Amino acid sequence: MAAKPNPTLDIVYIALFAALTAALALFPPLTLPVIGVPITAQSMGPMLAGAILGARRGALAMVLVIALVAIGLPILSGGRGGLGVFAGPTVGFLLGWVPAAWVTGLLHELGWRQLTSISSFTHAAVGGIVVLYAIGIPVLAFQAGLTLKAAAVGSMTFIPGDLIKAALTAMIAVSVKRAWPIIRPAAEPSA
Amino acid sequence: MSALAALLRRAPAGAKLAALAIAGTGVMAIADWRVMVDLALLAALAFRLAGCGTDALGRQLRPMLWMLAALFLVQGWLVDWATAALVVARIVTLVLLAALVTLTTPAEAMIATIERLLAPFVRFGVDPGRVGLAFSLALRFIPVIGEEAERVREAQAARGLGHHPLALILPLIVRVLKSAEDVAAAIEARSGHDDPGRAAPSRSVW
């Protein structure tokens, strides 16, 4: 495979991962027995896009998902879509997908050569949980008029599900790196 | 069709988006919960007058119902009931107004507006043609990937692999990645040169 940049291929990857994230909404949600909070597959989208496409393309795929939601496609889990989503209290957890995918992607690029399921899990958790919640919680507090603490406590119920998603992302990222690697770290000498 | 329905369907997407942005800022200035609840009721009425129907109204609000109920209780308990009513009515109003814009604007008009809004960013390296291509491709891929997921699911069920999420997502992703190069090659072959901006389906925007 040629290592030279191919802008058309990049656009195809971005569109494919935007569509894949939309398709993840079709997976039936899993309900954790103890906590009772439904886990939707869709929020794996930003972690997967970052871990497989890298920072730039992963973040752009999430920008495209958000733009598709904005123009009215009902592609979010539960069939939500349209500009109404952006007036809702949890919009930060949607907008946060862009930096979440970017950070997940950047960490994967930096640690690409020595990628293990453990390091990939850490990268996905930092990008897809720490970064995402750092944006989602203040927006929730602002939109809903809650204190930061109340918004944070309310959001904690989703952490176990997100940890499971980070683990799944890590297993997928490591397998995909073996089968069909897309990320090419900048430091790598051109083949 | 009511006058409001005709107006909303004929108004340019850009004007509706601008009006929505102004409304979004405007409701933040309202501090009286009774005014806000009236506005929410007006937004619901506008929904009906625009010919969007009660079904569409329910589809917009049902997914948020539990969230809004929880929010109302938490606000009423932590702050006071007037604030609780204000916050919930504000969210309902904005959600309904935004949905109204979406429901009365075709996706193509929205994409065309996005491409036009991107024009000032050309100097920063943004290519509106490529953005349009990304939109068109994603719109095309969403049903394809949905079908592909269904096919993989059936194949795994036939092999007795059941519902393990990895057994479903991993083959789906590898298939998607493998198809990407063929799609890119097809786009470039059809456009006759390697400028993807030109490969976007012909749609006059300017």
A16 and B64 within 8 Å at the Cβ level: the answer is no
Query: How close is the nearest chain B Cα to the Cα of A64, in Å?
Result: 7
B192, pLDDT greater than 60: no
Say whether A30 sits in a helix, a strand or coil. Answer: strand
Tell me what the mean pLDDT of segment A24-38 comes to: 67
- What is the distance between the alpha carbons of residues B83 and B121, in angstroms, rounded to a whole number? 41
Is A93 a member of any domain? Answer: yes
User: Within a domain: residue B205?
Assistant: no
Tell me the mean pLDDT in the region B40-57.
84
Predicted confidence band of residue A2 (pLDDT cuts 50, 70, 90)? very low
What is the model's pLDDT at position B204?
Answer: 35
> Quick check: A190 contacting B, CB < 8 Å?
no
Residue A185 within any structural domain of the chain: no
Look up residue B35 and give its amino acid: V
Q: Which domain holds residue B153?
A: 123-199
Query: In Å, what is the CA distance from B158 to each residue of A39, A109, A171, B146, B152?
Result: 26, 37, 23, 19, 10
Find out whether B109 and B88 touch, Cβ atoms under 8 Å: no
pLDDT band with cut points at 50, 70 and 90 for residue A186: low
Could you tell me which residues are beta bridge partners of residue A39? A30
Q: Which residue has the higher pLDDT, A52 or B119?
A: A52
Q: Is A156 on the interface with B (CB under 8 A)?
A: no
Asked if the model's pLDDT at residue A169 lies above 80, the reply is yes
**Cα angle, residue B36 at apex, residues B30 and B39 outer, rounded to 5°:** 115
Tally of structural domains, chain A: 1
Higher pLDDT, residue A104 or B168: A104
Do B64 and B134 fall within a single domain? no
Can you tell me the distance from the alpha carbon of B66 to that of B70, in angstroms, rounded to the nearest whole number? Answer: 6
Residues B40 and B12 in one domain: yes
Mutate to test the interface with A, among B176, B178, B190, B191 (most CBs of A within 10 A): B176
Q: Are B101 and B161 within one domain? A: no
Given this model, what pLDDT does residue B161 score? Answer: 67
- Place B198 in a pLDDT band, splitting at 50, 70 and 90: very low
Q: How confident is the model at residue A4 (pLDDT cuts 50, 70, 90)?
A: low
Residue A52, pLDDT score = 96
* Residues B75 and B154 both lie in one domain: no
Query: What is the per-residue pLDDT for B163?
Result: 64
Q: Has residue A186 been placed in a domain?
A: no
Find, among A33, A24, A107, A26, the residue nearest to A62 by Cα.
A24
Assess if residue B150 is contained within a domain: yes
Length of chain B, in residues: 206
Q: Give A153's contacts in chain B (Cβ within 8 Å).
A: none
B22 lies in some domain: yes
Residue A41 in any domain: the answer is: yes
Average pLDDT over residues B156-164: 73
Domain membership flag for residue B66: yes
Query: At A175, which CATH number?
Result: 1.10.1760.20
A contact residues 56-85, partner B, Cβ 8 Å cutoff: 60, 64, 67-68, 70-73, 75, 78-85
Position A131 in a domain:
yes
Asked if pLDDT for residue B196 goes beyond 90, the answer is no
Q: Does A181 touch chain B (CB under 8 A)?
A: no
Q: Residue A71's domain spans which residues?
A: 7-179
Place of tokens 């496609």: A73
Q: Chain A residues with CB inside 8 Å of B174's CB?
A: 176, 179-180
Q: Is residue A190 part of a domain?
A: no
- Partners of B107 on chain A (C-beta within 8 Å) are 71-73
Contacts of B176 in chain A (CB under 8 A): 16, 20
Which of B48, B78, B105 is the last residue in one of the domains?
B105
Which pLDDT value is given to residue B200? 46
What is the per-residue pLDDT across A77-90, written as a single tens digit (0 to 9) for each?
766 777 888 888 88
Domain count for chain B: 2
CB within 8 Å of chain A, chain B residues 69-128: 71, 74-75, 78-79, 83, 87, 91, 94-99, 101-103, 105, 107, 110-111, 114
Residue A1 lies in a domain: no
Q: Reduce the secondary structure of chain B to three states and give it as a string.
A: CCHHHHHHHHCCHHHHHHHHHHHHHHHHHCCCHHHHHHHHHHHHHHHHHCCCHHHHHHHHHHHHHHHHHHHHHHHHHHCCHHHHHHHHHHHHHHHHHHHHHHHCCCHHHHHHHHHHHHHHHHHHCCCHHHHHHHHHHHHHHHHHHHHHHHHHHHHHHHCCCCCCHHHHHHHHHHHHHHHHHHHHHHHHHHHCCCCHHHHCCCCCCC
Is residue B111 situated within a structural domain? no
Contacts of B110 in chain A (CB under 8 A): 70-72
B contact residues 145-164, partner A, Cβ 8 Å cutoff? 145-146, 149
- Bin A176: left if φ > 0, else alpha if -120 < ψ < 50, else beta: alpha
- Count of CA atoms in the C-beta half-sphere (13 A) of B10: 7
Structure token digits, residue A102: 């970017």
A189, part of any domain: no
pLDDT at B206: 33
- Residue B146 pLDDT greater than 90, yes or no: no
Q: Which of residues 79-118 of A touch B (CB under 8 A)?
A: 79-90
Cα–Cα distance between B161 and A30 in angstroms, integer?
17
Which string of b and e fits A176-188 if b means at least 16 CB within 10 Å?
Answer: bbeeeebbeeeee
> How many other C-beta atoms lie within 10 A of the C-beta of residue A87?
24
Asked if A167 has any chain B CB less than 8 Å from its own CB, the reply is no
- pLDDT bin (cut points 50, 70, 90) of residue B35 is very high
For A90, the closest chain B residue by CA position comes to: B67
> What integer pLDDT is reported at residue B2 of this predicted model?
76
| B131 & B58 share domain | no
Query: B42: number of CA atoms within 13 Å, CB side?
Result: 9
Lowest mean pLDDT among B3-7, B182-186, B192-196: B192-196
Is the pLDDT score of A120 beyond 90?
Answer: yes
Phi, psi of B193 (to 5 degrees): -155, 175
Cβ pair B64:A88 closer than 8 A: yes
Residue B107 pLDDT level (bands cut at 50, 70, 90): confident
Angle at A29 between CA A24 and CA A32, to 5 degrees: 135
Q: Where does the pLDDT of residue A180 fall: very low under 50, low under 70, confident under 90, or very high at 90 and above?
A: confident
* Side chain identity at residue A186, one-letter code: A
Identify the pLDDT of residue A34. Answer: 59
